[in-house]
Amino acid sequence: MGRALQLFDEVVLAIAADSTKKSLFTLEERRGLAEKALVDFGARVRVTAFSGLLIDYVQSENYGRSCAGCGPSRTLNLNSQMALMNRKLNDSIETLFLMPRGAYTYLSSSIIKEIGRLGGDVSAFVPPWSAKRSMRKYHGEKP
């Protein structure tokens, strides 16, 4: 997020409601977790949720561009395909890619979820409070 804030005055983290990914947390839980994780960035970062196509959401909010983080090659390939499709749907909106720092290039949410699901410690990859909440979810306990 810090690198995106070097490029933009404000950054909006838009969480998709209609994702095909199997999420561990509900949309509202994901939004709350993101807000907590980004609180130190202050008013220049806003967390929202949207339904439908990202390109439609970006246009409806008059953002003019979207930004995607690209980690492992699989994620880069998927994000590239999505960016090209978005360009086909609306060529007035640009998609920018930010590559992660070297220490994080191997990470993906799928890998972190798999480690947690199998009882591994995910605290090296997410904030400690998020790791505890995730483990409670995996073990069926109330957060």
pLDDT 10s digits, 47-72? 999 999 999 999 999 998 888 877 66
Roughly how many angstroms between the first and final C-alpha of the chain, as a whole number? 26
Q: Do 125 and 98 share a domain, yes or no?
A: no
Q: Do 124 and 59 share a domain, yes or no?
A: no
3-state SS, residue 12: strand
Q: Do 43 and 64 share a domain, yes or no?
A: yes
Q: What is the pLDDT of residue 31?
A: 95
**What are the pLDDT digits (tens) for 63-121?**
988 888 776 666 777 888 888 898 999 999 988 888 877 777 777 888 888 998 898 98
Q: What is the pLDDT of residue 74?
A: 65
* Residue in 30, 65, 70, 33 with CA at minimum distance from that of residue 50: 30
Q: What is the pLDDT of residue 36?
A: 94
Instruction: Find the domain containing 67 and state its range.
Output: 2-103
Answer for the pair 93, 58: CB distance below 8 angstroms, yes or no: yes
* Residue in 44, 49, 40 with CA at minimum distance from that of residue 14: 49
- Site of tokens 């998609």: 95
- Site of tokens 């246009």: 59
- Site of tokens 């220490």: 103
Residue 141 has pLDDT above 80, yes or no: no
The model's pTM: 0.80
Q: Do 112 and 54 share a domain, yes or no?
A: no
When divided into structural domains, the chain yields a total of 2
Instruction: Give me the chain's average pLDDT, please.
Output: 86
The token duo for 3 is 């690198």
